[in-house]
């Protein structure tokens, strides 16, 4: 068990890196997912087709394939994803600015993959609003923007907050994959490093890594359960 104490800084570093990529990917996926959701509910058919195609492709593809595309396809195109070296942001998330591009590749893959699920969560929220609500708003003479702002979005937000939370939990778990794609030092890569290269006993390392992930996923899941129960009562 001493590995948990001796190597505490390694575990903590892995946890910190996993947390970093999760925060960045969550922000990116929420933004991109909202854009795709807008495309999917827009009145213009070609834009709708683009949104639908995006969701179909990324929902049915394993994240592993998306990761491979990002990690081997982008270098083949001569790109190092340098556009993600955002000044200011890379001072906080130091991995964004390094010369090794794998953190950025993994981030791109996670964002692209998760955005499809975020889009579906948001869209199912809009679908859950009864049609009479928007109709009543229109018959009151509210414009399209007012309709969305005051009637549809506040209600759809309630319906999509729990699915969105599940998507984010799923994304945290998916982020374990990045350790196998050349991102050095996240929680899953730490497991590999400590057991195979440094020869520590397996069970304590496994416990440490598990605790690292459970700290992130279990409280979030409990929070979602609470929100859902509250909403069920309110309804």
Partner 1 sequence: MSQQNSVLYDVPGPRQRRITLISSVVAAVLVLVGVYYLIYRPLDEKGQFTSELWGPLVDPGNENFSLVWDRIGIGLKNTLIAAVLAIISSLVVGTLIAVLRIQLKSLTRRRFTGLATPVSYLLRGLSVLLSAVTRFCVEVFRGLPVVITIFFVARGFPEFGITFDTLWYLVIGLTIYNSVVIAEILRSGMEGLPGGQAEAAAAIGLSPFQTTRMILLPQAFRIMLPALISQLVVVLKDTSLGFIISYEETLNIGKQIIGALDNPIQVYAVIAVLFIAVNYSLSKLAQYVQRRLSRGRRTAGTPAQNPPPAALMSQAESSGQGV
In 73-152, alpha helices (H): 74-76, 89-92, 102-128, 131-139, 144-146
Residue placing its CB nearer to partner 1 in the complex, 97 or 166: 166
Give the phi and the psi of residue 141 in degrees, each rounded to 5: 90, 15
Residue 185's region, left for phi above 0, alpha for psi from -120 to 50, else beta, is left
Pick the closest to residue 108 from 166, 54, 175, 34 (CA basis).
Answer: 175
Binder among 8, 16, 150, 202 for partner 1 (CB under 8 A): 202
Q: What is the DSSP annotation of 33-47? A: HHHHHHHHHSS-HHH
| C-alpha atoms less than 13 angstroms from C-alpha of 165 in its C-beta half-sphere | 18
- If one asks whether residue 233 binds partner 1 (CB under 8 A), the answer comes out as no
Residues numbered 32-91 forming contacts with partner 1, rule: CB under 8 A: 40-41, 43-48, 50, 56-57, 59-65, 68-69, 72-73, 76-78
Binder among 176, 182, 184, 185 for partner 1 (CB under 8 A): 176
Interior CA angle at 170 toward 166 and 176, to 5°?
Answer: 155
Q: Rounded to the nearest whole angstrom, what is the least distance from the CB of residue 154 to partner 1 in the complex?
A: 14
| C-alpha atoms less than 13 angstroms from C-alpha of 42 in its C-beta half-sphere | 16
Query: How far, in Å, CA of 42 to CA of 37, rounded?
Result: 8
- If one asks whether residue 192 binds partner 1 (CB under 8 A), the answer comes out as yes
Residue placing its CB nearer to partner 1 in the complex, 14 or 103: 14
- If one asks whether residue 94 binds partner 1 (CB under 8 A), the answer comes out as no
Residue placing its CB nearer to partner 1 in the complex, 48 or 97: 48
Binder among 15, 54, 103, 117 for partner 1 (CB under 8 A): 117
Q: Rounded to the nearest whole angstrom, what is the least distance from the CB of residue 91 to partner 1 in the complex?
A: 29
Residue placing its CB nearer to partner 1 in the complex, 47 or 97: 47
Residue placing its CB nearer to partner 1 in the complex, 92 or 144: 144
- If one asks whether residue 153 binds partner 1 (CB under 8 A), the answer comes out as no
Q: Rounded to the nearest whole angstrom, what is the least distance from the CB of residue 76 to partner 1 in the complex?
A: 6
- If one asks whether residue 199 binds partner 1 (CB under 8 A), the answer comes out as no
Q: What is the CA radius of gyration of the chain?
A: 21
Residue placing its CB nearer to partner 1 in the complex, 90 or 133: 133
Pick the closest to residue 212 from 10, 3, 9, 12 (CA basis).
Answer: 12
Number of residues that bind partner 1 (CB under 8 A): 75
Binder among 35, 166, 185, 204 for partner 1 (CB under 8 A): 166
- If one asks whether residue 14 binds partner 1 (CB under 8 A), the answer comes out as no
């Amino acid at each position: 068990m001493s590995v948990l104490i001796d190597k505490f800084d390694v575990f903590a570093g892995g946890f910190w890196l996993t947390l970093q990529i999760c925060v960045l990917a969550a922000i990116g996926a929420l933004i991109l997912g909202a854009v795709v959701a807008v495309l999917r509910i827009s009145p213009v058919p070609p834009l709708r087709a683009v949104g639908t195609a995006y969701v179909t492709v990324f929902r049915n593809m394993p994240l592993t394939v998306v990761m491979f595309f990002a990690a081997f396809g982008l270098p083949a195109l001569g790109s190092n994803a340098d556009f993600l070296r955002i000044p200011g942001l890379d001072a906080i998330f130091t991995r964004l600015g390094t010369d090794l591009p794998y953190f950025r590749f993994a981030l791109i893959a996670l964002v692209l993959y998760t955005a499809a699920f975020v889009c579906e969560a948001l869209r199912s929220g809009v679908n859950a609003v009864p049609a009479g609500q928007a109709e009543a708003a229109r018959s009151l003479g509210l414009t399209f923007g007012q309709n969305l702002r005051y009637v549809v979005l506040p209600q759809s937000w309630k319906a999509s907050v729990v699915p969105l939370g599940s998507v984010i939990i799923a994304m945290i778990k998916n982020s374990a994959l990045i350790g196998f794609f050349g991102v050095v030092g996240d929680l899953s890569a730490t497991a590999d490093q400590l057991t195979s290269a440094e020869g520590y006993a397996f069970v304590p390392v496994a416990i440490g890594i598990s605790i690292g992930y459970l700290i992130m996923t279990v409280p979030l899941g409990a929070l979602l359960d609470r929100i859902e129960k509250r909403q069920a009562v309110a309804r």
